[in-house]
């Protein structure tokens, strides 16, 4: 089994979570790899995924498309006058999945980020037919973003494995302290606070 990790936005902790997941899988003796189909800006996320996964892979296998502009893939591709090879994105996952037991695919930005004019990050997850984990920055406003993302994942016919609430430091805000409870009341999928080992049981 493999999984698609998406976020409610950019900068919510997808890479940190994906690396944590890869490290836990390796501890259990599972051969695994991170797959960052597209990097925009620097390539640090892909390098972290490469280091966290099983050995013997290259940065090009983990990240087949690297766009230098820190923007949505469509924006960056237009600026660099590049045409993105969607077949190569899907093929990269297939090749990795033949080399390791488990692939953690990290999406770019949020769920519906344009890769081309007619192809979005959500379309890649749908093409790969992977279950989805949603990483959320636990802050004011995340309820709306989380519900929208969960509903769109389910509308695509994909299994939503759960929501990971990621805190960036302590906060005394009422929203931060109550978001997990509200999400659990309104959703029928697991909602965990932080990176919890219980998530691993959902991936088998």
**Domains along the chain with CATH numbers:** 3-201 (3.40.50.300)
CA dist 51 and 31 (Å) reads 13
Query: What's the maximum distance between 2 C-alpha atoms anywhere in the chain?
Result: 47
**Is-contact 165 195, C-beta < 8 A?**
no
The single residue of 14, 36, 68, 177 carrying the catalytic annotation is 36
The reply to whether 36 belongs to the active site is yes
Q: What does each C-alpha distance from 148 to 62, 130, 142, 143 come to in angstroms? A: 29, 19, 10, 9
**Residue 171 in this model has a pLDDT that exceeds 70:** no
The per-residue pLDDT for range 114-143, each reduced to its tens digit, is: 999 999 999 999 999 999 999 999 999 999
52-73: average pLDDT: 95
Q: What's the N-to-C CA distance of the chain in angstroms?
A: 7
pTM of the full predicted structure? 0.94
Q: Specify the pLDDT at position 199.
A: 73
């Amino acid at each position: 089994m493999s999984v698609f990790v998406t976020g409610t936005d950019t900068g919510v902790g997808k890479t940190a979570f994906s690396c944590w997941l890869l490290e836990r899988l390796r501890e259990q003796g599972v051969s695994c790899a991170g797959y960052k189909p597209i990097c925009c800006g620097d390539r640090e996320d892909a390098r972290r995924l490469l280091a966290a996964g099983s050995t013997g892979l290259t940065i090009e296998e983990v990240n087949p498309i690297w766009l230098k502009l820190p923007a949505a893939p469509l924006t960056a591709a237009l600026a660099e006058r590049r045409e993105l090879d969607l077949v190569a994105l899907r093929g990269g996952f297939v090749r990795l999945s033949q080399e390791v037991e488990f692939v953690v695919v990290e999406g770019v930005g949020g769920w519906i980020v344009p890769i081309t004019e007619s192809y979005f990050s959500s379309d890649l997850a749908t093409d790969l037919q992977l279950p989805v984990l949603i990483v959320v920055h636990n802050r004011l406003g995340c309820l709306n973003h989380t519900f929208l993302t969960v509903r769109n994942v389910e509308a695509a016919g994909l299994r939503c494995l759960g929501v990971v609430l990621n805190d960036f430091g302590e906060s005394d805000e009422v929203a931060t302290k109550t978001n997990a409870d509200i999400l659990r009341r309104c959703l029928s999928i697991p909602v965990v606070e932080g990176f919890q080992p219980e998530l691993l049981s959902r991936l088998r």
